[in-house]
A and B are shown apart, each in its own frame.
Chain A
């Protein structure tokens, strides 16, 4: 809202995902935001109505798109792997990819596109380095199933899983500055391990990163 008052719209929980709240806090009020894989627009709704941003979304599932547009949000049906190329450079202040990077066909290219069309990128993903994942693979010898990764291997959209450490490495390799990062538990709350990369890589269920170009 332009005047800063919260808009408590009837009947809708503002968010049942705490990580969306943490992402929203990273975004400057009244900035321009693109949310990739925005679903039914839960995060966009918070951003538009509470932080007064000019928010756009793209989503691959048409039913979710219809729901978001019917709420008055600017959302298009598109595929992050192919359609980001059609946006001009620096069109947005932030480009957000929440829990979707691991489901893209070419995550490195998607990240590069995000930091081309946005001045900053906000990325969250399930941490494959979590101790429960490691333990499950070691003890059962089968693909791990955790609260953050709850689908069997043959039915998962998650085709490019990584750990928090892996992600730091990719940022270093492609020259992205990590302005902020957080380790989150499975409910999207901050974990106490957020100061230490190695501990976060072991104990955080998700990583949340705010990046910019060098």
Chain B
């Protein structure tokens, strides 16, 4: 989709389905965010006993448009391969909900949404960099308010990959009585130093863009497109694997002789530049800063006195932990830490490392072992749920 200039107020360009909570949400940082807005989408039908609800938690740059055409990009939903009629998360059976995370830019309260004061009065400007820092736990509390508003006493499952997996773990730790099963995919119980480091490169690129204007680019009618694109390009490399890059691009040249300094010489460069330039049309730079920080802050063990076992003590939740062999951003060792803590807490846990050369992004791609694992686990959990 080609646009002459990206809309400056991304969150308002499209009317998103939204619930507003006038009482607001007290954030971990102490700020009362009031009112709280949660934009979301649902698929399938909630059954009479309200026992078939699945919450999908999206990743850093995902959003609530899981299984339908995206209203901004016009592209298919980001997890249509997993969610839909007859898919592993079958919308003929399950009522699937996905909410835009707190701090996001697709209609939930976040940097591009209108700033409010402590009494909830609108200030006639976007939050921008004044938006308070949020945590994964804040995101989960906002989702929990939505789930309550939708009249669902207990979710059948909470499922998500990457940052979505962090939310899944937080859901299980924070609301063990409101979740029957949990599928954290390609994730970790804390964000590693290496991952924080990669995030910082992205943030620095945004800050260095002259169009960033200290975060007040909305005042100047610009967006830090260059910086945000570089942030996306760096991050995108971490989502792939060396094998996947070699298989997709190798050392192939686009055109021309080798010994020039042209942009776009190698195919892999042009691919990354495309990833960067399409990203800036659908994502807000201040949201990117806010959400990467939320991931960096995440440390579920630290939230429970330094012990991950303690986070899951006596949990009734059934877990299915999934990792991918070539994921170096959230490697299998991180999933194994979660599994060991769950074992120590005597939790019911399944764990599969799926062999794939597609890196971290494998959770979004066509991986038949992933689909078999998710549908099999959900089937087993449904048998157990119906037995009470």
Within 8 A of A (CB), among B205-237: none
Residues of B near A77 (CB, < 8 A) are 351-353
Q: Does B340 contact A (CB under 8 A)?
A: yes
Q: How many residues of A contact B (CB 8 A)?
A: 21
Residue of chain B at shortest CB distance from A55: B348
Residues of A near B320 (CB, < 8 A) are 69
Within 8 A of B (CB), among A186-213: none
Residues of B near A91 (CB, < 8 A) are 346
Knowing A70-B373, A72-B381, say if A87 contacts B344 (CB, 8 Å): yes
Knowing A69-B320, A70-B376, say if A76 contacts B387 (CB, 8 Å): no
Within 8 Å by CB of A66, from B339, B343, B348, B352, lies B352
A56 to B384, CA, bound (A): 14
Within 8 Å by CB of A70, from B346, B372, B381, lies B372
Q: Does B262 contact A (CB under 8 A)?
A: no
Residues of B near A65 (CB, < 8 A) are 351-352
Report yes or no: A74 in contact with B349, Cβ–Cβ below 8 A.
yes
Within 8 A of A (CB), among B234-286: none
A156 to B205, CA, bound (A): 55
For chain B, give the interface size range. Answer: 20 to 34
A69 to B349, CA, bound (A): 10
Within 8 Å by CB of A87, from B343, B369, B375, lies B343
Within 8 A of A (CB), among B354-376: 354-355, 369, 372-373, 375-376
Knowing A66-B369, A86-B340, say if A71 contacts B376 (CB, 8 Å): yes
- Provide 6 A-B residue pairs closer than 8 Å at the C-beta atoms, listed in order of the A residue: A54-B348, A76-B349, A76-B350, A77-B353, A78-B351, A88-B344
Interface residues of B (CB under 8 A from A): 318, 320-321, 339-340, 343-346, 348-355, 369, 372-373, 375-377, 379-381, 383, 387
If A72-B381, A74-B350 are given as contacts, then 20 extra A-B residue pairs at C-beta distance below 8 Å, sorted by A number, are A54-B348, A66-B352, A69-B352, A69-B376, A70-B372, A70-B373, A72-B376, A73-B380, A74-B349, A76-B321, A76-B349, A76-B350, A77-B352, A77-B353, A83-B343, A86-B340, A86-B344, A87-B344, A87-B346, A88-B346
A-B complex: 3 closest residue pairs judged by Cβ atoms: A72-B380, A70-B376, A76-B351
